[in-house]
Amino acid sequence: MKQVVFNVGDAFSTYIEFDNKTLLIDVGKSDDFNPVTGFLLPLYKKRAYAKNHNNNKYNLDQLIISHPHNDHISAINDFNNNFYPELLTCPNDNSEMQEDEKINWELINDKKNVETLQDMLQGREPPLRSTNTRNEFIYYIPPKKVEDDSDLMNESYCNNISIVVYVRINGTKILIPGDLQKLGMEKLINTNTSFRNIIKEGVDILIAPHHGLRSSFSVDMFKEFKDKKTRCLNIIPEKITTEDTNRQIDSRYSNKDYCMGENNFSTGNSPVYQRKTTGGHIYINYQKFAEPFFEIIESNSALIDKFFK
């Protein structure tokens, strides 16, 4: 029961092993690190996993693509060349879906690598479900409802159709909202009772929406959390930003009003509420019930060893 939030700079990717399932959420890469060729492929080779005889690829239980922006799919070709996800969950226009749930591909302004993703989606029905219905839950605003809402469209169509993932691992609750933006989160909370109720149970670890940027900090989201804050840690998959833009990390993620700081980084006099991936891959071990153990790991080989053990 382990997770890593990769240090991929301006991109995002996280890999989780829990309940005998393997789950990869998004597959963004940076110039310095590719989660497929730098981690998954050497890990699977080290474990001596057998490839699927039908396609000569390694099997993965589920790949979730929160939304088809390039910073979340930039390593999709490397993934597709080496891995086959038993379940591929992604905004889609599958013929079995209701009309309001179908993505409008014409509204995706960043087309890079989208064609590969579309090819991978062919023949998969239905596309939007979890691989573990007991401990993994997905939520999203139907794309047509985003398209019909001028406020959400002004924020970003593609970001606001993000699939939001809530995972329970050995007593720890993790929320991964993709790039869902401020108004999108408000809309999801107000229109999806199931999502609102599940985050009321509590969020121990939040992987901040939209890379932790100010423009996407959701007060409405924290208001719905148990105790109105996370329990353990806010993780920022940080984008590189400059002072002359509004793309700044929101400082509230590192504030006691938004996290209790119950984690192994904290000491009595120095609580820690936030960690950024720019410091290294963030490795989380869920072996102890409701007490996740966090480490910052800079070495790729050391990270692989953590999962190999």
**Among 264, 64, 71, 303, which Cα is nearest to 164's?**
64
First to last CA, the chain: 12
At 111 the pLDDT is 85
pLDDT tens digits for range 223-240: 999 999 999 999 999 876
Which of residues 222 and 127 earns the better pLDDT score? Answer: 222
pLDDT tens digits for range 249-266: 899 999 999 999 999 999
Q: Cα–Cα distances in Å, from 34 out to 20, 205, 210?
A: 24, 24, 20
Q: Is-contact 174 141, C-beta < 8 A?
A: no
Which of residues 208 and 244 earns the better pLDDT score? Answer: 208
At 131 the pLDDT is 84
User: Quick one: tokens of 73?
Assistant: 């799919």
Q: Cα 38 to the chain's mean position, in Å?
A: 19
Q: What is the mean pLDDT of the chain?
A: 94
Q: In what order do the strands lie in the sheet with 293-297?
A: 83-89, 58-64, 21-25, 14-18, 2-5, 281-285, 293-297
Q: Is pLDDT above 80 for 246?
A: no
Q: Is-contact 212 259, C-beta < 8 A?
A: no
% of the chain surpassing 70 pLDDT: 96
At 169 the pLDDT is 98
Considering the domain delimited by 2-308, tell me its CATH architecture.
4-Layer Sandwich (3.60)
Q: Is pLDDT above 70 for 126?
A: no
pLDDT tens digits for range 60-105: 999 999 999 999 999 999 999 999 999 999 999 988 889 999 999 9
Q: Is 95 exposed, middle or buried (0-12, 13-18, 19+ CB in 10 A)?
A: exposed
| Least confident span in 53-57, 65-69, 194-198 | 53-57
- Residue matched to tokens 């080290």: 46
* CA dihedral sign of residues 85, 143, 119, 98: positive
DSSP assignments along 153-194, one per residue: HHH-HHHHTPPEEEEEETTEEEEE-TT--HHHHHHHHHH-HH
Q: Is pLDDT above 60 for 245?
A: no
Q: Is pLDDT above 70 for 120?
A: yes
Residue ranges per structural domain of the chain: 2-308
At 133 the pLDDT is 82
At 132 the pLDDT is 84
pLDDT band at 128, cuts 50/70/90?
confident
At 140 the pLDDT is 97
Q: What is the 3-state secondary structure (H, E, C) of 56-73?
A: CEEEEEEEECCCCCHHHH
pLDDT tens digits for range 261-298: 999 999 988 999 999 999 999 999 999 999 999 999 99
Q: What is the mean pLDDT of residues 212-221?
A: 94
pLDDT tens digits for range 169-188: 999 999 999 999 999 999 99
pLDDT tens digits for range 201-213: 999 999 999 999 9
DSSP assignments along 258-286, one per residue: SB---STT--SS----EEEGGGSEEEEE-
